[in-house]
Structure 1
Amino acid sequence: MRGHGSNHHLRKGIEQMTLRPVDGKQHAHRPRAIGYLRTDLSPHEAHDTETIRRLARRQHHTLVYIVRLGPDSVPDAIAHVLDIVCATGTTTLITPDLAHLENHPGRVCDTCDLMTVCPGQLWMKAVTNPHENPHEPIWLPEVWHSEPDARLRIADAHRVMQTHLTCNPLDCPRKAAAFALLVETGKLVPATRSPRERAVSRNLAYPPVGPTTPGMCPSPAILQRLLTGLEQVQP
C-alpha cells in the first residue's frame, strides 16, 4: 500500500507541472482525460501518442497529459498512473490497448473510466452495485467502423480483422483498410473463388442475392482501396 507521504509528494509534484490540454484548447465543459503508454510496448511512440490525442478529441474529452513510462520507471506503473489521474481530477484514462495495462482493465475501472484505441472500446468506472458487471466494454461507435485516422500497422490490422470478423469490408471502412494492408504486405492471401462458387463446389445452398439499394452500395473509396490491395496479389 502506498503511504500518505508518497501521495502527498506526488500531488505536490503534479501541481507544479504545467498541465495543459495536449490539443492546446480549454474546454471546461468536457471531461478530462489522461493518456498513458509504456514505451517498451510502443515501438512507434509518436504514432501511439497521436492516436491517443485523436481518440480524446473524437470522444469530446480534454486531454491534459500523456504519461510515458518505461518498464522499470516506477515499481508499480499502473498505480503511479492512477495516482496522477486522482491528483489531476481526471475521469478517464486513454491507452493504445490493454497490453499497456497488463491486460487488466478492472484495476483501472476501480478508479476511473478507461478507453482503448485498438479496439475502440470504453470500460466504465466500477459501480457500487455488486450485481452489475462494471468491466463489460462498450464499443465506441465513432471509432468502431470508421476510416482509420492514419495508416494502420500490421499488428493493428490483424487485430481489426479479428475484432471485425463478421464485418463485410465493403461496408466497414476500418476492415477494408486492414484487409488491403494485409494483402499488400503479403500477410493475407484472398480466396480465388467467390463464396457462391465455394458453396456450389460443396453442394451447399447459397442465399439468393436481393435487390441492391443505394444505401447498401459501398463507397468508391472503399472499392478503390480493396482493388488496390488485390492488385498486389501475384497471379
Structure 2
Amino acid sequence: MSDESIRTPPSICGSAEIDLAHRLMRRHRECRIHRCAWKWVAYRTLVQYGRIAPQTLSPRERAHRRDIEFPTAPPSSRRTPGPDSVFPCGAPEPVTLHQVLDGLRELAHDMRSGDSREG
C-alpha cells in the first residue's frame, strides 16, 4: 500500500449556487448588470439553472408591445448619474484605473523593446 492518496474537494450541490445567486441578485438590486460583476455572475448562474430566462426583446420593443412611450430625449437632456449611481457596488476611483492603464502601457512598451533587442 502506498501512503499517497487522492483527495477531492467536497462537491457543492446546485441548490447552494442557486441560493447564493438569488441572495446576490437581491443584494445588488440597485446595480446595473453590465457594470456589476457580482450581479452579472448571479444572473448567468440563474440563467444556467433555468431559474430566469434572458430577455429576447429590447427595452424599446417591450415598451412598444405594452403601448408604453419609450423615452426619446437626446442624451444631453437626460440627468447625468452621480458617482454613486454609476458604480453602486463600489469601484476603484478613475485615478486608480488610469494608473493601472499607464502601468500596463509601460509594461507593453518594455516587452516590445525587449523583443526588438533580442531579435
TM-score (structure 2 length as normaliser): 0.44
Structure exhibiting the larger radius of gyration computed from Cα positions: 2
TM-score (structure 1 length as normaliser): 0.24
Q: Which has a greater percent of strand?
A: 1
